[in-house]
Copies of this chain bind each other. A is one copy, B any other.
């Protein structure tokens, strides 16, 4: 169920990005708020950080973390282009989908990398599946904002 919800949100967000032109992606989602390009980079970076957290390998796009996680929008002079970010988003969706499909149900209920085995014994809900659940909610939060880049109606 949680994995279906994740895939559903990723798919809806992907559809939304496909509807938005590079020009629309350079707009703020609402006056003085984040631009589409920033939220795209932010989602890639946050999802990238899930890989080590889920014990699924190294981050692939470490260079995006300082720009799109540690810094707010409009504070970095030279952002990667929308086209570059779109390519990374697409590659990442495919890669994560494969990696997720490789985990067994039991593996999803094992600990993630930010909790020690000792703490996990007392807090078994802090498992890998819960990371996906929390990130699904995060994705939905930003997707609601990105929708404002589409023309009204």
Task: List chain A positions with a Cβ less than 8 A from chain B.
Answer: 1-2, 4-5, 9, 29-33, 125, 127, 129-130, 133-134, 136-138, 140-145, 148, 152
Contact = CB atoms under 8 A, between A and B. Distances in A.
Contact of A125 (B1, B136, B144): B1
Main SS at interface, chain A = helix
A134 B30 contact: no
22 contacts: A1-B2, A1-B127, A1-B129, A2-B2, A4-B125, A5-B133, A5-B137, A9-B137, A30-B30, A30-B31, A31-B31, A32-B152, A33-B148, A133-B133, A140-B140, A140-B141, A140-B144, A141-B143, A144-B144, A144-B145, A145-B145, A145-B148
Nearest to A29: B30
Contacts of A127: 1
A31 B82 CA distance: 24
A59 to B, nearest CB: 24
Nearest to A148: B30
A22 to B, nearest CB: 21
